[in-house]
Amino acid sequence: MKIIVTLAFIGILGALFSAGILMLRRNKGKASMANALAVRVGISVALFLFILFSAWMGWIHPTGITMTR
């Protein structure tokens, strides 16, 4: 589980970094940057849905913060 989440975060940061590099290049155009940002959003949504699915299947359990006085 931790490996999948870590790989997704690396993918998100990689897509964000590549969009930043493409933004700085003038000859490449804005279409490539938009594609890189779309990939980042897609990976983020997929990670969120995977976490929800994992909680629903019982693979992960929310612990929360205990409120004691």
Residues whose CB is less than 8 angstroms from the CB of residue 18 and which lie 6 or more positions away in sequence, other chains included: 36
Question: Model confidence over 5-39: pLDDT tens digits?
Answer: 999 999 999 989 988 888 887 666 677 888 888 99
Q: What is the pTM of this model?
A: 0.76
Would you say 40 and 15 are in contact if contact means Cβ atoms under 8 Å apart?
Answer: yes
Residue 69: inside a domain: no
- What is the domain range of residue 48? 2-57
Question: How much is the pLDDT for 28?
Answer: 61
* Mean pLDDT of the region 36-52: 93
For residue 3, what pLDDT band results from cuts at 50, 70 and 90? very high
Residue 27: half-sphere exposure toward Cβ, Cα within 13 Å: 0
Residue 39: inside a domain: yes
Give the number of domains in the chain: 1
67 has pLDDT over 90: no
Would you say 47 and 5 are in contact if contact means Cβ atoms under 8 Å apart?
Answer: yes
Residue 64: inside a domain: no
Residue 66: inside a domain: no
